[in-house]
Amino acid sequence: MKKIIGLLKLLLCYNALHAQTDTLKLYFPHDVYKLDTRLQRSLDSMLYADAINNRQNLLIVGYTDHLGTDAYNERLSNHRAKEIQNYLVQMHIPAANIKLCIGKGELQTNNTSNTGIPPNRRVDIVTSLLGKETVKKTPQAKPAAPKQVIPNIEKVAVGQTLRLQNIYFELGRHVVTRASLPALQALYETMVAMPQLKIQIEGHICCLRFGVDALDEETGEISLSANRAKFIYNYLLERGIDKERISYKGFGKSRPLVWPEKTIEDEEKNRRVEIRVLSK
């Protein structure tokens, strides 16, 4: 009965859409609902390319393959849909535009492979343009100026550096945590607001007794500081910042602000990402 009600609800939402629809698909690993870096980048690319924007109605529908029980698959598909919804809202898609967020459990198929069906482990995002009246009432529908600029960036002289605040990386990895997204967005908006600005992104680590740089557990490379700087570099590239305006470099532990590191505060000062102003 619950699935029938869900299908009726989905059908009503489809009928309520005013304009031509499009369906975007995001594929998950087996038994996973959390967004990994690949999925976040896919969503970011959709947002940057305007495939998803605040002038649309959205339906978010999660699915699984046939592995697992019906109850488990329904929970998993719901979690997948909710993760996508939460990320889009965090990236300034109005929650009111998301008309449906639901998990449908197993996507029915005749294939009963013991290894499952990867294309069925997904979330579909169905987009449709808002009605004209709704667009007029939605402030976000108008092109907006950048919302925030990194504090004090105007005061940084060419050749000097500025520490990026509130950038947090997963332990031993080059991937930022979700809490870092507002700071990354501020850096992007700064680059948009200051089109003449050119920067070098510089990574630094702490807490290393031997060697120059630390192990990146995700890639197996002894270049954690460089990979962290490169992650931010790629973030800007994927949003359309010209590669002629940005570069990156890792300095490992070679440029500590405090030495020796005697306290947690000392370690925090040395574990950082900075931007060096090359021109503006």
Classify domain 2-139 at the CATH class level.
alpha beta
Q: Mean pLDDT over residues 86-93, rounded? A: 90
Structure tokens at 68: 């697992």
pLDDT band at 133 (very low <50, low <70, confident <90, very high): very low
Q: Is the pLDDT higher at 50 or at 95?
A: 95
Answer whether 164's CB lies under 8 Å from 243's CB. Answer: no
Instruction: List beta partners, residue 22.
Output: 127
> Quick check: 103 pLDDT over 90?
yes
The pLDDT assigned to 179 comes to 80
Question: Average pLDDT in the 228-238 region?
Answer: 93
158 C-beta neighbours (distance < 10 Å), count: 10
pLDDT higher than threshold 50 for residue 132? no
Q: How far apart are CA 230 and CA 238, in angstroms?
A: 12
CA dihedral 212, 217, 218, 219 (to 10 degrees): 50
Mean pLDDT of 43-69: 88
Cα 121 to Cα 105: distance, rounded to the nearest angstrom: 10
Q: What is the mean pLDDT of the segment spanning 93-111?
A: 89
Domain 153-279 adopts which CATH fold? Answer: 60s Ribosomal Protein L30; Chain: A; (3.30.1330)
User: In the numeric block, which tokens belong to residue 127?
Assistant: 């987009």
Identify the residue with better confidence: 109 or 199: 199
What number is the average pLDDT over the span 216-239?
A: 92
Under the banding of pLDDT at 50, 70 and 90, the label for residue 198 is very high
Q: Which of 72, 74, 84, 87 is nearest to 7 (CA)?
A: 74
* Residue type present at position 250: G
Q: Write out the residue limits of the CATH 3.30.1330.60 domain(s) in the chain.
A: 2-139, 153-279
In sequence order, the 6+-apart residues with CB closer than 8 A to the CB of 98 are 58, 59, 60, 85, 88, 89
Q: What is the pTM of this model?
A: 0.51
Q: How much of the chain, in percent, has pLDDT values that exceed 90?
A: 48
Percent of the chain with pLDDT over 70: 86
Q: Per DSSP, which regions of 79-159 are E strands? A: 98-106, 122-129
> Which tokens go with 150?
């990194």
Segment 82-99 mean pLDDT = 92
